[in-house]
Structure 1
Amino acid sequence: MQDYGVTLFMFRTPYLVDIVRENVGRVLNLDSINAGNSWKDMDVLIFNSWHWWTHTGKSQPWDYVRDGTNLYKDMDRLTAFYKGLSTWANWVDSNVDPSKTKVFFQGISPTHYQ
């Protein structure tokens, strides 16, 4: 890729919002995107998230969900996704200059479950 002067970065954060270690365990924090600092000043950002939110049991990487000051053992996944995606959208609005950066979002491929 040197011939084109392109550098690719892959930053894996499938939930977009942060999962942090707290005294109670791993917490999916619906209001926090500290990882977003790594995305700033990119020319193109591509996000893909919904599939990961459906994982439950041992394939789920968090123990609790934090929504503001409330901590839940679990939460309706569509509600959690909506809140996390709202946090992500606010981050994009506050941190991305659309004249310099293109943002793409894909929730899930229509054939993913076949």
Structure 2
Amino acid sequence: MEIKSTLINHSGQELKVVYWEGDPLADLEGKILQGVHAFCFYDGKLVLVKHPKSGWMPPGGGIEQGETYEQAIIREVKEEINMKVVSQALIGFQDIYEPGRIVRQTRSFCIVEP
């Protein structure tokens, strides 16, 4: 499945975004695997983070050097919602077409607990 969209970045530029199902490590040539976001569920409820500028979003952020995207999800969930990832499943990724580069971010489902 492929979903095409756009977003406005912090500089006010409109960027093309494409959401994909599948392996984010496939076809990485010319792309930067930079970020993760996790749709986290606890006790049947979706857990979100309220960002001052962006509004409500799933926990997520950058992948640190030497980290896998799975490790980055565990760290970001702990940092942003202070919960432990019990299980996680990759559901896909998005490519953001910035000027001069393509940035890839993963999307996952997670079960979390305090």
TM-score interval (norm. to shorter): under 0.3
- Larger Rg over CA atoms: 1
Length-normalised TM-score, structure 1: 0.25
Structure whose residues are more often strand by fraction:
2
Structure whose residues are more often helix by fraction:
1
Length-normalised TM-score, structure 2: 0.25
